[in-house]
């Protein structure tokens, strides 16, 4: 079903605070409407329209990264038809967020953010955006679900809403009934590109974290401990959901701290351990060099460990090597890679293009017999996009129950799909 997901962007919501002074919905909308702006992004080939919202009175505006893309010119338009040329402070492709800066704004009224961790399914929300370039438009709905994974990125944690979201709403805010932002409208589920009542918003807590990081240096520095995890239920943890370590990178912070594959995570700082994606997100938002206390269950024994969070390797690249012809390679290859024994090949991850690159294939392997060659690139595994070496290892581990995987890959000859039997690498 996810193949029908059209990333047209837009939506997000917030909670209703019954203790706050009540205002009519009309008054609340009137109060926040001026904080929502239209975004026009131009380049030589096309013009993109979207929405954004003001996050500070000195000219910072946030929107979706896919709205501004590789534009040569970005224009921010207020409800008073004031037009400002905006500069791009930075983007984060993993969360599809971009931060813009306008110089000398006249009447910039910033939004207030709510704690998106507190929103509940059923809360009333409203979205404001720029559908089809019409200008600020309001749609009303509820929060339909939380923690949705739509395979848009490695940290998917979307709020789902039925508030109407259409093309041009991308980057606009999702408000709760108190007029606080609970998310950024980012995507819709659609077969034909039109609204079908299923929209997705990036939670406000993620938006705020990315904005703060981009303000500091114009880029994102994420934390990393080097483990892949899956959900597990254990009897001696009061029937709470916990996570089991299914894979680990060599020389990673977790490995150095003594964590082993098969360990069950009982505690990891103050992080919740009931959702693998949310756990990965929380780790990524932990500042490098932070000492993270972790308690694991191993062979019936609880073990206390301390892991020093490092900077995520995907954001470390090496200089391009020269080819035999003396020309530099067109893309960078990252410093880490691994042997995938179950597939009899060695791979690395190209962060720039978000692709798993085949570095070598066993000459007598099934993969080689079916046409996989050095330099080919994996696109999906069992229909799911791959977001790095650890993610690939986890997906292979999940597939080991059936003993085979369906791989879509691209070579010099184009796209192809094959089925491979997994070797027992235990």
Per-residue pLDDT of the chain (426 residues; tens, 9 = 90+): 444 444 444 333 333 444 445 789 999 999 999 999 999 999 888 889 999 999 999 999 999 999 998 899 999 999 999 999 999 999 998 999 999 999 999 989 999 999 999 999 999 999 999 998 888 999 999 999 999 988 787 888 999 999 999 888 999 999 999 999 999 999 888 666 666 779 999 999 999 999 999 999 898 999 999 988 887 755 554 545 688 887 777 789 999 999 988 888 999 999 988 888 899 999 999 999 999 999 999 888 999 999 999 998 754 333 333 333 343 333 333 333 466 777 788 888 776 566 788 888 887 788 888 788 888 888 778 777 787 777 787 778 777 777 778 777 777 766 677 778 887 644
Q: Residue 100: is it exposed, middle or buried by C-beta count within 10 angstroms (0-12/13-18/19+)?
A: buried
Structure tokens, 96: 């599809």
Q: Which helix (H) or strand (E) holds 337?
A: strand 337-340
pTM of the model: 0.70
Q: In angstroms, rounded to a whole number, what is the distance separating the alpha carbons of residues 337 and 83?
A: 47
Q: Could you tell me the CATH superfamily of domain 337-421?
A: PDZ domain (2.30.42.10)
Q: What is the pLDDT of residue 16?
A: 41
Structure tokens, 69: 């893309």
Q: What is the pLDDT of residue 388?
A: 76
CATH ID of 223-311, from 2.30.42.10, 2.40.128.130, 3.40.47.10, 1.10.10.10: 2.30.42.10
From residue 361, alpha-carbon distances to 135, 355, 372, 374, 375 in Å are 54, 17, 7, 7, 10
Q: Which fold has domain 2-216?
A: Thrombin, subunit H (2.40.10)
Residue that is written with structure tokens 């880490």 in the block:
336
Domain ranges of the chain: 2-216, 223-311, 337-421
**What angle (nearest 5°) sits at the alpha carbon of residue 79, between those of residues 76 and 82?**
50
Of 203, 202, 204, 127, the residue nearest 166 (C-alpha): 127
Q: Let me know if the fold of 2-216 is the same as that of 223-311.
A: no
Q: What is the pLDDT of residue 337?
A: 45
Q: What is the pLDDT of residue 314?
A: 53
| Residue-wise pLDDT tens digits, 34-89 | 999 999 999 888 889 999 999 999 999 999 999 998 899 999 999 999 999 999 99
Positions marked active-site: 66, 96, 170
What DSSP designation does 66 have? H
Q: Residue 195: is it exposed, middle or buried by C-beta count within 10 angstroms (0-12/13-18/19+)?
A: buried
Nearest 10 degrees: Cα torsion 64, 68, 69, 71 = -170
Q: In angstroms, rounded to a whole number, what is the distance separating the alpha carbons of residues 339 and 188?
A: 37
Half-sphere exposure of 321 (CA within 13 A, CB side): 5
């Amino acid at each position: 079903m996810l193949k029908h997901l059209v990333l047209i962007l837009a939506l997000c919501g917030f909670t209703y605070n019954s203790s706050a002074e009540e205002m009519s919905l009309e008054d609340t909308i009137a109060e926040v409407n001026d904080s929502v702006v239209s975004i026009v992004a131009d380049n030589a080939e096309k013009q993109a329209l979207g929405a954004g919202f003001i996050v500070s009175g000195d000219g910072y505006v946030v929107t979706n990264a896919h709205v501004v893309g590789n534009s040569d010119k970005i224009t921010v338009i207020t409800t008073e038809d004031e037009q400002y040329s905006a500069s791009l402070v930075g983007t984060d492709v993993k969360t599809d967020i971009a931060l813009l800066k306008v110089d000398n704004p006249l009447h910039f009224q910033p939004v207030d953010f709510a704690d998106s961790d507190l929103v509940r399914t059923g809360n009333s929300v409203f979205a404001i955006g720029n559908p089809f370039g019409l200008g600020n438009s309001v749609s009303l709905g509820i929060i339909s679900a939380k923690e949705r994974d739509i395979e848009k990125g490695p940290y998917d944690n979307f709020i789902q809403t039925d508030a109407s979201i259409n093309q041009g709403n991308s980057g606009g805010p999702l408000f709760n009934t108190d007029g606080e932002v609970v998310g950024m409208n980012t995507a819709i589920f659609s077969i034909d590109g039109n609204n079908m009542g299923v929209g997705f918003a990036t939670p406000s807590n993620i938006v705020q974290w990315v904005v703060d990081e981009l303000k500091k240096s114009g880029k994102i520095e994420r934390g990393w401990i080097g483990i892949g995890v899956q959900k597990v239920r254990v009897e001696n943890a009061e029937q709470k959901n916990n996570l089991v370590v299914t894979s680990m990178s060599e020389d990673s912070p977790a490995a150095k701290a003594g964590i082993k594959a098969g360990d069950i995570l009982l505690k990891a700082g103050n992080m919740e351990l009931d959702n693998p994606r949310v756990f990965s997100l929380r780790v990524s938002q932990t500042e490098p060099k932070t000492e993270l206390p972790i308690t694991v269950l191993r062979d019936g024994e609880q073990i206390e460990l301390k892991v020093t969070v490092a900077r995520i390797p995907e954001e470390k690249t090496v200089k391009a090597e020269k080819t035999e012809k003396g020309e530099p390679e067109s893309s960078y290859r990252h410093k880490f890679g691994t042997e995938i024994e179950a597939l009899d090949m060695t791979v690395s991850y190209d962060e720039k293009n978000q692709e798993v690159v085949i570095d070598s294939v066993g000459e007598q392997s099934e993969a080689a017999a079916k046409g996989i060659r050095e330099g080919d690139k994996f696109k999906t595994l069992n229909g799911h996009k791959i977001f790095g070496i650890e993610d690939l290892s986890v997906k292979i581990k999940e597939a080991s129950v059936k003993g085979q995987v369906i791989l879509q890959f691209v070579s010099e000859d184009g796209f192809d799909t094959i089925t491979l039997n997994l070797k027992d690498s235990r």
